[in-house]
Structure 1
Amino acid sequence: MPRSRPGRLRADRRHDPRTWDGPPPARIHRLSTPSSLAIHRAEMLSTDYYVYPGATERALRRYRAFVLSPGHRTVYPQEAHCSCRGCSLDDVRHARDVLDRVLRQLPARARGELRRRMAALDAAYLERTLPDPFADQRQWRSDLWWRRRLTDGREGW
């Protein structure tokens, strides 16, 4: 019986996650094309309910819009009224949760680039919000620094 070539055996077993049906995704604003593709790949392969194709870009836009809102007043994150995928990003803290989940799934180079983009936003978030001394009693995830901020009042006021 003839022997199968090793390449043929590997080709039968391998599913290449780098190929997708349809056109390539659009580049995420202020990120390189390879990092945007790595993020798209991580979103496609994720089993997390809140990480889906396009979630990183939406969360990044939401986080940027919150921390770079006009004025120099203190801002307060608002609770989301619904916990579905789309409405949950109304809470900027959940948008930061999504970004953190995606960061953990990325390869080193894309992770570093996204982390650098988020560093300035994180600094602005810390500057524009106030610490919550009772976060241990109020928050379900008080171990995350962005959840240890006051949430009273309407967002932007």
Structure 2
Amino acid sequence: MPRNRPGALRARETLGTRPRTREIPQPERIPGLSARTSLAIHHVEQEDGGYFLFPGATERALRRYRRFLRTPGLGILYPRTSVCPSCPGCGLDDVRYARDILDETLSRLPPRPRAELIGAVRALDRGYLLRTLPHPLLRPPLPWWHRRLAEGAEGW
């Protein structure tokens, strides 16, 4: 008597079930980060639903932080306040707000993705410290990236 192949048996068992597909498409990978870290960030943004973390906020914040530091030349940079800081999307015009989003994401990530994101953010932080000046009058409890000299408004 011939034997049925295991694949044929499994195919008969699963005829009535629907195929395994994702209902929500896989999120895109954040440039400069691994797929695993990008997925962890996506989960954190989906679960939180808070003011800082909305879907795609971390990627936009990283892009904004990098763009601020890629300003041509070697001169001093001055962060600018957003014209509409109360809007989560418009707030990203201010690089300090973008750094706030990254800090919030870091506080909610599991250890391994956090370590990878910290590596990317620290490299940007070094550039930020080198290209901005400390504000002599601002003291803690503000985070260090808010205690830098700034000028004017940006975004309109």
Letter in 1 for 2:118: R
For the 8 Å contact 1:79–1:90, the answer to whether it is kept is yes
Q: Distance in 2 between matches of 1:106 and 1:20?
A: 23
TM-score (norm 2): 0.80
1:71 is paired with a residue whose SS is coil
Structure 2 counterpart of 1:111, one-letter code: R
Identity over the aligned pairs, expressed in percent? 53
1:135 match: secondary structure = coil
The structure-2 alpha-carbon separation of the partners of 1:98 and 1:20, relative to structure 1 and needing over 3 Å to count, comes to farther
Instruction: Report how many aligned residue pairs link the two structures.
Output: 133
Could you tell me which residue of structure 2 aligns to residue 78 of structure 1?
80
Residue from 95, 106, 120 that aligns with 1:92: 95
1:76–1:152: 8 Å Cα contact kept in structure 2?
Answer: yes
1:39-62 CA deviation, whole Å, 9 max, x = no partner?
Answer: 000000013212111000000000
Q: CA deviation at 1:103?
A: 0.4
List per-residue Cα deviations over 1:52-108 (Å, max 9, x = no partner). 110000000000111122110101000011120110000000000000000001000
Mapping for residues 21-40 of structure 1, pairs under 5 Å: 21-40=23-42
Question: 4+ runs of 1 displaced by more than 4 Å?
Answer: none
- RMSD in angstroms over aligned alpha carbons? 1.8
In structure 1, the gaps of 5 or more residues are: 1-18
Q: Which of 56, 64, 72 pairs up with 2:66?
A: 64
Amino acid at match of 1:65: R
Give the unaligned 5+ runs of structure 2.
1-20
Give TM-score scaled by structure 1 length. 0.79
